[in-house]
């Protein structure tokens, strides 16, 4: 496993690792072609975007830890994933601040600016489009288990989840074949097959406002899966102080109710059923597992997600997308 690492600067532009300079929008396709090649042997592409309070080193270390968990458990209990050959991409961005209300506000504002005034959404949208062009698209529903089909999974943590949703919306411009999840709505030719966000730092009603389009008219094929934990102090205490209400990572998405269902994070020996995940938004209560965080740690269990059960959730979604 040798993940590709791509960096964004504070304006949301990719950074050329050779000279440290931002990559212009026009140069992004050539940049990606030089640094990100999808091997034909890959069955699944996993893009990971980290969250609050990560240095470049810790962002890479934690993403690698998650990928290692996926690799360790990919052979157990996922019949449609045999074989599994993952190709992994890490997106890093400047997320470090003090573990305080002021620090949380500063990174919240930066993440927002990077996707509104800046180019993070467009840059990541170009990345998803590039990956779609490079991958071998899965076939029609009768050939979904073709091992030559390459599935695209996006995973975010904290504010990284906001980046991913913004990118999916920014890339909404074409129509796809129907894949594993039967939505009955017009689809896109390039789709994100799995969108999994751990402990999302966003308002619980954001899918009725800023992210409304992703529920109805965006290139995402499967559900939007959001983990929650009552021990997540960052999206509980700090999000409430900064925005007036607890964040999704603490209470889950609350609106629009007609598109939301809920389940519990399962142990690795317990399979998820298609029906319990077959909704636009799925809140996954992980309070029993994501609970470590001493009282003196302001973020609580916000980053306590590095468990086999987290990999099991992603692999289950990948398996059900076939």
Report pLDDT digits (tens) over 50-107: 998 899 999 999 999 999 999 999 988 898 898 899 999 999 999 998 877 788 888 8
**260, β-bridge pairs:** 281
263: which strand partners? 284
DSSP lists the bridge partners of residue 49 as: 91, 156
Domain extent, residue 69, equals: 4-320
Distance from C-alpha of 287 to C-alpha of 308, rounded to nearest angstrom? 15
What per-residue confidence (pLDDT) applies to 105?
83
Number of neighbours of residue 216 by Cβ within 10 angstroms: 11
What is the mean pLDDT of the segment spanning 307-315? 98
Using CA atoms, how far apart are residues 191 and 179, in angstroms rounded to an integer? 9
Residue 297 pLDDT > 70: no
For residue 161, name the pLDDT band (cuts at 50, 70, 90). Answer: very high
What confidence score (pLDDT) does residue 140 get?
A: 40
**DSSP letter assigned to residue 222:** S
Task: Please determine, for residue 249, whether its predicted confidence score (pLDDT) is greater than 80.
Answer: yes
- Output the CA angle 51-304-201, nearest 5 degrees: 35
pLDDT given at position 273: 93
* Backbone φ, ψ for residue 89 (5° rounding): -130, 130
Enter the DSSP assignment of 265.
P
Minimum mean pLDDT range among 24-33, 162-171, 288-297, 303-312? 288-297
0.75 cut: is pTM over it?
Answer: yes
Q: How far is CA 73 from CA 15, 76, 102, 194, 250, in A?
A: 33, 6, 39, 18, 27
Q: How far apart are CA 270 and CA 63, in angstroms?
A: 24
Question: What's the chain's average pLDDT?
Answer: 85
The whole-number pLDDT of residue 60 equals: 97
Left if phi > 0, otherwise alpha if psi is -120 to 50, otherwise beta: which for 264? beta
Res 147 pLDDT > 50:
no
186 pLDDT above the threshold of 60 = no
Spatial CB neighbours of 167, under 8 Å, sequence gap ≥ 6:
120, 121, 123, 124, 125, 127, 128, 154
Q: Which of the four pLDDT bands, split at 50, 70 and 90, describes residue 171? A: low
Q: Average pLDDT, stretch 238-249?
A: 86
Cβ(300)–Cβ(200) under 8 Å?
Answer: no
Distance CA 121, CA 265 (A): 29
For the chain, give the percent of residues with pLDDT over 70: 88
CA 71, CA 43: separation in Å to the nearest integer?
13
* Residue spans of beta strands (DSSP E) within the chain: 4-7, 44-49, 86-92, 151-157, 194-198, 224-228, 260-264, 281-285
Please report the pLDDT score of residue 139 as a whole number. Answer: 55
Percent of the chain's residues with pLDDT above 90: 52
Number of structural domains, the chain? Answer: 1
């Amino acid at each position: 496993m040798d993940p590709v690492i791509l960096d964004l600067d504070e304006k949301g532009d990719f950074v050329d690792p050779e000279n440290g300079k931002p990559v212009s929008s026009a140069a992004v396709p050539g940049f990606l072609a030089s640094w990100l090649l999808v091997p034909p042997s890959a069955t699944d592409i996993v893009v990971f975007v980290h969250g609050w309070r990560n240095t470049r080193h810790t962002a890479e270390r934690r993403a690698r830890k998650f990928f290692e968990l996926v690799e360790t458990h990919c052979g157990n209990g996922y019949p449609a994933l045999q074989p599994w050959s993952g190709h992994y991409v890490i997106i890093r961005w400047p997320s470090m601040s003090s573990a305080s209300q002021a620090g949380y506000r500063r990174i919240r504002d930066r993440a927002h600016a990077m996707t509104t005034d800046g180019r993070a959404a467009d840059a990541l949208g170009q990345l998803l489009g590039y990956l779609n062009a490079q991958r071998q698209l899965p076939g029609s529903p009768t050939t979904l288990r073709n091992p030559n089909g390459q599935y695209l999974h996006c995973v975010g943590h904290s504010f990284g989840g906001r980046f991913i949703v913004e990118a999916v919306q920014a890339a909404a411009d074409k129509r796809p074949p129907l894949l594993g999840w039967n939505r009955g709505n017009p689809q896109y030719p390039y789709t994100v097959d799995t969108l999994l966000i751990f402990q999302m730092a966003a308002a619980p009603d954001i899918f009725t406002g800023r992210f409304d389009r992703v529920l109805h008219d965006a290139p995402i094929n499967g559900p939007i899966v959001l983990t929650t934990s009552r021990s997540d102090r960052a999206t509980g205490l700090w999000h409430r102080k900064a925005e007036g209400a607890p964040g999704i990572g603490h209470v889950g998405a609350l609106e629009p109710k007609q598109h939301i269902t809920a389940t519990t994070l399962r142990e690795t020996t317990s399979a998820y059923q298609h029906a319990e995940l077959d909704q636009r938004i799925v809140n996954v209560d992980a309070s029993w597992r994501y609970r470590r965080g001493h009282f003196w740690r302001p973020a609580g269990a916000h980053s306590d997600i590095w468990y086999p059960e987290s990999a099991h959730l992603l692999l289950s979604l990948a398996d059900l997308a076939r």
